[in-house]
A and B are shown apart, each in its own frame.
Chain A
Amino acid sequence: MNLMTERSLEKAVGDKMNAVVNATKMKGNKVSVFYGSKQALFDVDLDIPEKMVMALIGPSGCGKSTFLRSLNRMNDTIEGCRVTGQITLDGEDIYDPKIDVVELRARVGMVFQKPNPFPKSIYENVAYGPRIHGLAKSRHELDEIVESSLRRASLFEEVKDRLQESGTGLSGGQQQRLCIARAIAVSPEVILMDEPCSALDPIATAKVEELIDELRQNYTIVIVTHSMQQAARVSQRTAMFHLGNIVEVGDTEMMFTTPKEKRTQDYITGRFG
């Protein structure tokens, strides 16, 4: 019995040492982004592995959020923004003119820095997406999607008795989990998170981090965070950005213990600038 536990522990430790990188879900190939004449990203190449959490770190203005937003063409909504290079989802070019952007954003969902529930009921916040995408055939099916999404976002138990109350009446942490439930409801494959915990207290942050860890079983997650500790806790892969370029990409454990690049080392240890 003891021997068994020891062996499985050894195996677990071994697995951790030789972290396996899953197959590539999304791929950026020489991605450059311009805001008008100002270039924000320079020929960025980055593979995003499937069913793993990829953290993007770097100082403000380094291009990490710009890169994140280009993964579901959120940049399209910004006046004067231009993207060159190629980004693929399962090998398919997402900037191909034939791509339906609404459908793309259902496959690649997004959670923002500030929780932004619709000024509608908790139920409607989650039901909205599946309804406009026609994912539910009946009211009953829609109820099921809402419940399972809220459950997967670890929110159901807290709100099951007040589904018809306004989503904006929830606490900040609950609102953020509601936004995650809303993103999950349309069965995305990839979830992009732009500093999802920066407006939350430590307890709500811990709940969201726990949730991210669970969601990784079924979804590919890309998270932008300014908290080094958060990146170290939740992600398996980390990419360090600086001045619109990628400085270093690697297994999270390596990036936070023995980074190869001096700029990464300086940034994560608080020696930048």
Chain B
Amino acid sequence: MSRELLLRASGLSCRFGGLTAVDRLDFVLAKGELAGLIGPNGAGKTTTFNMFTGRQKPSAGDLDFLGRGVIGLKPSRINQLGMARTFQNIRLFDELSVLENVLVGFHGRLKANFLSAILRLPGYAAEERRMYERAHELLELVGLSALSDERADSLAYGQQRLLEIARALATGPRLLLLDEPAAGMNPQETAGLARLVRDLRDRMELTILLIEHDMRFVMNLCERLTVLDHGKVIARGTPQQVQNDPAVIEAYLGAEAQAAGGEAPGA
């Protein structure tokens, strides 16, 4: 691959007692890619995200991010290295305002210590001003600037997903992991999200990996897909390749459907 490597997982496994949620996953992401991770429910997609971001310690395997091993690091540390995520079950800071939710994202990279924050020393004040500016820009980007003083939990579902993206972007990531960003969105919102995601990749030099069940969204957006089933990779390739892969069709529709000439998912 000509492009520089951003993330490499080799033999990454996660076992919960007798259940192997993810089984010896080999996975690479190059800088600037827009890739998708799909598979039926319970395939191990979110567990994969949890292992990438340090929330779930892998049972075995290696994980390199930006050329360094990140297994065993705290999620906060991994985030500071440049990996941010959103959550499948939205996890906003409900009682904080929309603006504050985004501002929290900047805190991990704050240089000023708490004493200079208490005394409002010039260094801290400058950082704080910059945070507010950037937060407003990010809210503008995802289209929530009119709601910046509302409580986060008062937003509509689709808006909450956008706010999670803005908050993740505030942490200054190189790699953005989106866990079902389109879930609960109507078709217009989904189309807007697709534009936003493509825009982020093109203009902010981000690498994006997303999990999604909305097949039309994934097929139109992602350049490369990895399909998981029962914790194992069953197919990789472009959306077209994956769509016609017999193993994928079987995983989604079952063996009989394939025998009956069933359609590929989302086709």
Judge: A and B partners, yes or no.
no
Q: Please report A residues at the B interface, Cβ cutoff 8 Å.
A: none
Q: Please report B residues at the A interface, Cβ cutoff 8 Å.
A: none
